[in-house]
Amino acid sequence: MQMKLVDLAAQNAEIREAVETEMAVVHRETAYVGGARVEAFEQEFARFLGARHVLTVSSGTDALRLALLAAGVGPDDEVITVPMTFIATVEAIVQTGARPVFVDVDPATCNMSPAALLKYLERKRFNSLNGPRAILPVHLYGMPAPMPELIAIAKRFKLAVIEDACQAHGARVKIGGRWVATGTMGDAGCFSFYPGKNLGAWGEGGAIATDNEDLARRIRSMRDHGRISHYLHEEYGYNARLDALQAVVLRAKLVQLERWNQKRRELAAAYRELFASDEVRLQHEPADASSCWHLFTIRSRRRDAIRNALLMNKIECGIHYPVPLHLQPACHALAYRSGDFPVSEQIADTVLSLPLHPHLSNLDIVRVAELVREALHSSVPPVSIEDREKRRATEMEVHG
């Protein structure tokens, strides 16, 4: 039987009854966009995160774009992010009219390197018209970025902090002895409810968490055609609302989220124990961080041999991401080159996501780890630099 990277059918089996009952009510009431269920979900997710406000929107990309716009980001601004992320992070920046700038990630955590950020900010002389306005760190694979350090740097340079928490529903950072949710430490935190996320809808969806009243008010209006009352519009806005059917699914899954995340943590710990030697490189979980393990990744020069072995044994795996953003054709105008962000490039060349979801067993994890080991010691040669360059030129993105 196929072992899945993400098993949505197994999730659905757990929530189907609750969802079907609620869906029947939505169909009876015919309130399909916004409404009581969307508001209830916003309150429940805000409580889960410990945020003052949650504003739902129609995707994670919209969440990022609206959060940036509400924070005042626009043409002539720079927004600093990382090249090792999904394209949506940078799309959202470009869609505000701002210019994305990359700094490299830390090789241990795969997240924005505070040292690289500081180096960029200290080296560059900015004039007030085209300087950086915000940083956009990503909690990659569900692993919290080093927020206290990044926020301290942002404060020093008077930059807004928008968190890309699209892969980090329920990850936490310990600050002053207290666990704080990712997505609640910056000015705003953005979530995606794409179906495969730890908290996923049955379609598209997203949300912004913020404690800032002004940001919340602005986003509430912008997501709904700039409305301040039914036919009064304070500005041109967007149609970026969540629909009630998705809210029904998200409310049912939110009840399970902590338990599902806990199961992911246990399975990730099992993988970590099985890979305790230095055969493959694992994403480092700092002592003050608790990942929600959206993805469990290993890194190896023999990545492609491992991938083939898993696929041949009907075990799904993925590459997140094979081409770092600075080398994407879409980002050509930013004029970066191969070699500009060596850590991101090395991760792209070696990273592999193994199956990890709450409906796997410890035996499944042992089986995957055994196959990885076998592939590591097989006689298939590792991928050459020439092959890598060729693949970079042709590889399709794996949406996760």
Minimum distance of ligand PLP from residue 328's CB (angstroms): 14
**CB-based burial of residue 339 (10 Å sphere; 0-12 exposed, 13-18 middle, 19+ buried)?**
exposed
Closer Cβ to ligand PLP, 61 or 350, answer by number: 61
Two tokens, residue 106: 């830390």
C-alpha 121/C-alpha 124 separation (Å) is 6
C-alpha 253/C-alpha 256 separation (Å) is 5
C-alpha 25/C-alpha 15 separation (Å) is 16
For residue 163, which of 263, 243, 51, 74 has the smallest C-alpha distance?
Answer: 51
Closer Cβ to ligand PLP, 144 or 400, answer by number: 400
C-alpha 326/C-alpha 337 separation (Å) is 7
The residue of the chain with the least Cβ separation from ligand PLP equals: 60
Closer Cβ to ligand PLP, 169 or 251, answer by number: 169
Minimum distance of ligand PLP from residue 27's CB (angstroms): 25
Closer Cβ to ligand PLP, 61 or 300, answer by number: 61
Separation in Å, CA 75 to CA 95, 130, 215, 234: 10, 9, 19, 21
Where on the chain is the footprint of ligand PLP (CB under 6 A)? 59-61, 85-86, 88-89, 138, 164, 166-167, 192, 194, 204, 206, 399-400
C-alpha 182/C-alpha 179 separation (Å) is 10
Minimum distance of ligand PLP from residue 393's CB (angstroms): 23
Closer Cβ to ligand PLP, 143 or 160, answer by number: 143
Closer Cβ to ligand PLP, 294 or 388, answer by number: 294
Minimum distance of ligand PLP from residue 211's CB (angstroms): 21
Q: What is the dihedral of CA 321, 324, 328, 333, to 10 degrees?
A: 150
Minimum distance of ligand PLP from residue 10's CB (angstroms): 21
For residue 131, which of 76, 169, 203 has the smallest C-alpha distance?
Answer: 76
Minimum distance of ligand PLP from residue 194's CB (angstroms): 4
